Structure 1
Amino acid sequence: MKQAFIEEVFMNWDVLKWLIGIYFGCFFGLLKVAYSDPKFYLEYIDKKLTWFCYTCLVGFSAFWYGLYACKNYTIENIDLISEQLTHLDKEYSYVTSYLLVLIIASCLSFGASILFIDIARRKQAHLSS
């Protein structure tokens, strides 16, 4: 019974493996671009990637906090029967498991974009000297 509940609440492991593979493929592809063509990376990709990662991080975090506040307000201020509370908790856990993955990926991507900027600048300085 508990295993079935865990499988319903959290995302499918096969889907998560594919998403992690795609994420790391993009990570290493951008690393190659930052190293092999630092001028293009710094002039074009850097601005868009950093802005996108930061916006996703702030947006997903705000959405997660909004869901948390709504859930707490609903539990404290609205009289719900136990079935409704169970359903609310199940759906909240399901949605926030996806949001947590998105927040972690956004945070790692933002950190990676800063790392790629450093790599591209060092490579560009090495090429110009």
Structure 2
Amino acid sequence: MSKNAIIAGLVVFVAAALFPFWFNIGGTNAAPEIELSEKAKAAKQCVLDKYDMRANHMSLLDEWRDSVVRDADRMYKSTNGKDFGMSLSTGENSCLGCHTDKAKFCDRCHTYASVTPYCWECHTDPKEVTQ
């Protein structure tokens, strides 16, 4: 092989390997803003602070599921001492009690992150119940 063919091959390889980075320069999408209901805004306090909830809600919900199913413990005491119902239902002091619109609150971020949670395989979407 000639020296020119090797160099040309390396240039093509580097260009192909770096193409996704060049293609996306300046084109990144910001994470979607969460729309809080009036009730959630008025509560001013969630189970955890918003950064912990964004990062760790899936772990928290898994812990809650295990606690409810295995130990029949349905109340969670947050770090501020407030009790929350460990439920995805629309109960007064539960997740969907404040965050009533699944499409605006849950689905928007899950779509952005390309995540398909399996919560709704067992739990009923609150909008499905009211229709």
Q: TM-score range by the shorter chain?
A: under 0.3
Tell me: higher relative CO, structure 1 or 2? Use CA pairs within 8 A at least 6 residues apart.
1
Q: Greater Rg, structure 1 or structure 2?
A: 2
Kindly indicate which of the two structures has a greater share of residues assigned to strand.
2
The normalised TM-score by structure 2 is 0.26
Kindly indicate which of the two structures has a greater share of residues assigned to helix.
1
The normalised TM-score by structure 1 is 0.26
